[in-house]
Amino acid sequence: MSQFTILVVEDEEAIRSMLVMVLQQYDFEVLEAGDVAEAQLILDDTLPDLILLDWMLPKVTGDEWTRRLKSSENFRDLPIILVTAKGEEADKIRGLDLGADDYVTKPFSPKELISRIKAVLRRSGKIHDLTQIKFKDIILDTAQHHASIADNDVEISPTEFRLLSFFLTHPDKVYNRTQLLDQVWGRSVYIEERTVDVHIRRLRKILAKYQREDWLQTVRGFGYRFSEKDS
């Protein structure tokens, strides 16, 4: 989860450090603020992936800040989970009405908190983005090892899948066979360089079914490049 940054806004230091600790244990990057003014300063130069926002804060309360953020152009898509101590159903509903993405009620277990955070990140499309590699109309889902080209499900072996995902994330650059072996197969595996050509041919065959073979280009004397531009 280290790709995700969570901003924790909580005035009670003991609770804030507890939250920070829990989130760090789950590998989140954490930013912290004791009140809304501090949190706003953080937002001025960093955009977190989610705000964990205490309801009861001095001066500007969590629900008030939620209302402001959700009605602002820049931050309306920033997910917010309200942390409330109140057992009142009405408050929770009010929080969600204001645009909060979810709430947790103190006391809560670390496990519950993390699963709420993951659910919100998933709903907001952030977790999904992370496992998806996209290049034009080629989409790879690395979590499910699924590939599609122009909305067609593609049958592809694990090696070609890895090769393709390497190319899609490193477009327009030329790689020689040794570099591809290192990057796709790993340095510790001993494979002849010719093997690379075999897999390139197989991958090109797959791409050819969807008229995308021109994107996997041979650069004579150097190696291979994935690009939609003409070689």
Residue 189, helix vs strand vs coil:
coil
Half-sphere exposure in the Cβ direction for 164 (13 Å, CA): 32
Helix (H) or strand (E) holding 140: strand 138-141
**Which stretch in 11-19, 20-28, 99-107, 126-134 sits in contact with Ca ion by CB under 5 A?**
11-19
| Minimum CB distance to Ca ion, residue 11 (Å) | 5
| Minimum CB distance to Ca ion, residue 113 (Å) | 16
Tell whether omega for the bond before 110 is within 30 degrees of 0, i.e. cis. Answer: no
The nearer residue to Ca ion, 10 or 49, going by C-beta atoms, is 10
The nearer residue to Ca ion, 64 or 214, going by C-beta atoms, is 64
The nearer residue to Ca ion, 100 or 207, going by C-beta atoms, is 100
Among 32, 49, 54, 101, binds Ca ion (CB under 5 A): 54
**Which stretch in 24-32, 48-56, 147-155, 181-189 sits in contact with Ca ion by CB under 5 A?**
48-56
The nearer residue to Ca ion, 12 or 214, going by C-beta atoms, is 12
Q: What are phi and psi of 117, to 5 degrees?
A: -60, -45
1 binds Ca ion (CB under 5 A): no
18 binds Ca ion (CB under 5 A): no
Among 1, 18, 42, 56, binds Ca ion (CB under 5 A): 56
| Minimum CB distance to Ca ion, residue 54 (Å) | 4
In 3D, which of 9, 168, 159, 178 has the Cα closest to residue 80?
Answer: 9
**Which stretch in 23-31, 37-45, 54-62, 88-96 sits in contact with Ca ion by CB under 5 A?**
54-62
Please report, as residue ranges, which positions from 73 to 102 form the binding site for Ca ion (by CB under 5 A).
none
Give the distance, in angstroms, between the CA of residue 33 and the centroid of all CA atoms in the same chain. 23
**Torsion sign over Cα 147, 149, 155, 158:** negative
32 binds Ca ion (CB under 5 A): no
Separation CA 174–CA 217 (nearest Å): 9
What Å distances lie between residue 213 and 36, 167, 210, 217, CA to CA?
53, 13, 8, 8
Q: Which residues bind Ca ion (CB under 5 A)?
A: 11, 54, 56
